[in-house]
Structure 1
Amino acid sequence: MNVIVKRKTNIVNIILFVILSLGAITMIFPLFWMISTSLKESQYVFKIPPQWIPNPIVWSKYTEVWKLTPLLKGIKNSMIIAVTVITFGMFNSSLAAFAFSKLKFPYKNQLFLTLLGTMMIPYAVILIPQFVAFSKIGWFDTLLPLIVPGLFGSVGVLFFLRQYMNGIPNELIEAAKIDGCSYFGIYARIMMPLSKPALSAQVIFMFMGIWNDFFGPIIYINTPEKMTIQAMISNFNSLYQSQTDFPLIMAASLISMAPILILFIIFQNYFVESLAISGIKG
């Protein structure tokens, strides 16, 4: 009986492995095609049958793209926005998550539901009033409209961290109180270290959202030197797509993806752990 059950389990595992492998190949296919295209000469991009391994391999597009557009300034502007918003936004979101998870105060649940309700408001509804307000205070064509709103935190991050913190035993909080630890001390010395996986996952998500943001920079920034990397690449694409220089476009896109890939590689263990744990805690 045990042999039959074990054999069925092995068959199920093999089937799941094959399905997941096919899914992984499907998801990695666009990235591989981008890398392949960026290393080709233009005349081989649409060759039939497709040329998966470039022959010859051309690296010149990666040096050419730096000369044709100020990508370094775009990367710098995006990094300024991302680092500032993540630093202050994550602190405020995690502090609020700690309060909603472990502290007791009047109308806590009602306030939390109200915050969640704001996630239902489409961005298009507040776009024009926000644009008018930022223009009147002189923030148009600066990085401030992309930085200041994010400093107050994110409701989505607050919700995720609160759910994660709900799984941390309350006995730790009570023991810290008995030892004379302040609420901020409990937050800094207990909750934050225990929430590292969730924090790391949210840092990745926030960085991806800020780094890939295209809508905000296009609306608020006109000066090319002040644009973020995605806005620069958009302008770059509109110029060179008409010239069918797709290897150049793919090289620029891959350069913009590099920071996200590096960040994910650094925090991948925390990221996977947070998703695994958050699925069973709540």
Structure 2
Amino acid sequence: MTGASIARPANAPNRRARLSRDRLGRAILYALAIALGFVFVLPFLWMLMTALKSRGELNLFPPTIWPNDWTPSNFLRIWEVQNFGQFLVNSAVYSVGAVIGTVVSSTLAAYGFARLKFWGREFWFIVLLGTLMLPSQVLLIPQYILFRELGWLDSLKPLVVPTFFGNPFYIFLIRQFLRGLPASLDEAALLDGANQWQIFWRIMVPLSKPIIVTVAAFSFVTHWNDYFGPLIYLRDPSRMTASVGLLLFRGDPETVISWVMAAALITVIPVVLVFIWTQKYYVQSVASTGGKG
């Protein structure tokens, strides 16, 4: 008892020192996180402030950070100068269609590579991964000629239809996740009389929700921000997506930079909302994806 009572006062300063170091470490970590967050938020803040400036204030030097003459009407003008609403609708149709195609095809292919046994499975998977090393520009001319012969130019078909043939990177992610699920699930389902489709749809898909949602989010952001594809295949301004539509704002001599910033800010909002909605699935999917080779 005496030894224990003597040890407590001796250890108390050490505990206080450790607590102080922990608090200091957390404070430094929070400060770095806040500073890093500010770096990421600053471009959006600058876009917002520029979008709210009047035409005359844009020419001031040095530029003002906060608008002296707040002009929220800039957000209304973008709907009048260009057919901005149609641009957003086209982007939504393109992105949603591409997400459906990517998720369905990539999930089916990943299930085959992860849970089914067939001759040459590992070889063909390596071949699939090898296609990731091909730059998209290599396939641009052959694809353009193919879509021209099919009569698909100036439509969303060249942008959406290829997504139904799977994406090698997303197939890899989903395959890694599925390989982390125990094989006993398949065995128990087969003993209960389930076929492969039932195993896939009723067992694997619900358990793979984190990685599927993550892939859907990545695919949505990629296709919503896609600039190169719509620029190559679309000609009619009424079919343009928002990413290319912003270029039309820049090309209009009557357009001011505040309108461009307002349009860009509105274009970013869907991406931010998708990230906020799906961020809780990221950690779950990442924690399970790299577990199996």
In terms of mean alpha carbon deviation, does 259-268 or 116-125 score higher?
259-268
> What's the counterpart of residue 253 of structure 1?
264
8 Å CA contact 1:77–1:229 kept in 2: the answer is: yes
8 Å CA contact 2:102–2:219 kept in 1: the answer is: no
Matched, 1:72 2:85: yes
Once the two structures are superposed, what CA deviation does each residue of 1:69-103 show, in whole Å capped at 9, x if it has no partner?
Answer: 11121122222222222112211101111111122
- 1:109–1:9 Cα change, 3 Å: farther
Q: Distance in 2 between matches of 1:13 and 1:181?
A: 52
Gaps of at least 5 residues in structure 2 are: 1-10
8 Å CA contact 1:42–1:244 kept in 2: the answer is: no
Pairs aligned (count): 280
| Aligned with residue 196 of structure 1, among 206, 209, 220 | 209
In terms of mean alpha carbon deviation, does 18-27 or 44-53 score higher?
44-53
Tell me the amino acid that sits aligned with residue 37 of structure 1: T
TM-score, length of structure 1 as denominator length: 0.91
Q: Distance in 1 between matches of 2:288 and 2:60?
A: 46
8 Å CA contact 1:39–1:61 kept in 2: the answer is: yes
The 4+ residue runs of structure 1 with deviation greater than 6 A are none
In terms of mean alpha carbon deviation, does 272-281 or 254-263 score higher?
272-281
Q: CA deviation at 1:50?
A: 4.9
Identity of aligned pairs, percent?
36
Matched, 1:39 2:52: yes
> What's the counterpart of residue 148 of structure 2?
135
TM-score, length of structure 2 as denominator length: 0.88
> What's the counterpart of residue 180 of structure 1?
193
Gaps of at least 5 residues in structure 1 are: none
Q: Distance in 1 between matches of 2:289 and 2:59?
A: 44
Tell me the amino acid that sits aligned with residue 119 of structure 1: L
Q: Distance in 1 between matches of 2:169 and 2:23?
A: 39
RMSD between aligned residues: 2.1
Q: Distance in 1 between matches of 2:33 and 2:292?
A: 25
What secondary structure is seen at the aligned counterpart in 1 of 2:181?
A: coil
Q: Distance in 2 between matches of 1:154 and 1:166?
A: 18
For 1:107-126, list aligned pairs within 5 A.
Answer: 107-126=120-139
What secondary structure is seen at the aligned counterpart in 1 of 2:252?
A: helix
In terms of mean alpha carbon deviation, does 230-239 or 42-51 score higher?
42-51
In terms of mean alpha carbon deviation, does 132-141 or 245-254 score higher?
132-141
Which structure's CA Rg is the greater one?
2
- 1:279–1:24 Cα change, 3 Å: farther
> What's the counterpart of residue 6 of structure 2?
none
Q: Distance in 2 between matches of 1:263 and 1:165?
A: 24
For 1:130-279, list aligned pairs within 5 A.
Answer: 130-240=143-253, 245-278=256-289
